[in-house]
């Protein structure tokens, strides 16, 4: 399993438009094979911050998603900066353990 998580920044006054432009892409990603979860959401503390969380069954599923999204136009306005990390998970279980 892979988790992709991080944050990005847009101008605070543009965040609502950015998220609205991302809604259709988020719906498509959630319907893709191997997508266990996919969220792009407004941060409650920082006005221009957008949080990203994705969970994929495998590296192959994520690669297929990235290949498809590379052909799509990106939401406008674009992110000013991004810090995204990919985590490969060896095991998982319910919380709390």
pLDDT of 73 reads 66
pLDDT tens digits along 32-81: 999 999 999 999 999 999 999 999 999 999 999 999 888 776 666 778 89
Give 53-83 as a DSSP string.
Answer: EEEES-HHHHHHHHHHHHTSPPPSSPPSEEE
Cα separation of the two ends of the chain: 19
Global pTM value: 0.87
pLDDT of 22 reads 84
11 pLDDT higher than 80: yes
Helix H or strand E segment including 9: strand 2-9
pLDDT of 33 reads 97
> 3-class secondary structure for 38-53?
EEEEECCCCCCEEEEE
């Amino acid at each position: 399993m892979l988790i992709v998580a991080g944050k990005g920044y847009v101008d605070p006054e543009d965040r609502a438009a950015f998220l609205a432009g991302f809604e259709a892409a988020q719906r498509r990603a959630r319907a893709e094979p191997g997508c266990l979860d996919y969220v792009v959401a407004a941060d409650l503390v920082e006005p221009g911050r957008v949080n990203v969380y994705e969970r994929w069954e495998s590296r192959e599923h994520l690669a297929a998603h990235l290949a498809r999204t590379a052909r799509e136009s990106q939401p406008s306005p674009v992110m000013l900066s991004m810090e995204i990390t990919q985590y490969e998970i060896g095991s998982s279980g319910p919380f709390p353990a």
